[in-house]
Amino acid sequence: MAAEQAEQALVKQWRDILALHARTQCELDRALHQHGLCASDFEVLDVLSAGSAAHGGRAYRAQEIADRVHLSQSALSRLVARLEKDALVERTMCAEDRRGVRVALTAKGRALHGEVRPVQRAVLARMLTD
């Protein structure tokens, strides 16, 4: 009986986490839509912004971004193509591995990230603070 209750509590905790994630993702999408972005778009810009600040402006390999934003390689490729079309990022071939692609923020992408970052952080604060 105690083991079953512990299992049910664990499942409830997991479902609460999933629900919080879904609600937060919806709120982020709603808030960022006004700026022409969705939550996944912003996550990529945010990763690139943090990386370029910490690494002297270096571009990330696409696989590094995919690992950080929890997208498949193909989903990330479509997202990056959309951001590139909007001139927010640029793609280049990896010098050390011609099969790889590097992605970096453009000046326009950096400016949009700076404008939208407070919006995203405010949503996170509102949704994740008890």
Dist. CA 60–CA 44, nearest whole Å = 10
pLDDT at 94: 77
Out of 33-37, 94-98, 111-115, 124-128, least confident range: 94-98
What is the biggest distance separating any 2 CA atoms in the chain, rounded to whole angstroms?
Answer: 60
Q: What CATH number should be reported for the domain holding residue 32?
A: 1.10.10.10
Domain count, the chain: 1
Structural domain containing residue 87: 2-128
Per-residue pLDDT tens over the stretch 38-64: 999 999 999 999 875 555 567 888 889
pLDDT at 111: 97
- High-pLDDT (> 70) share of the chain, %: 92
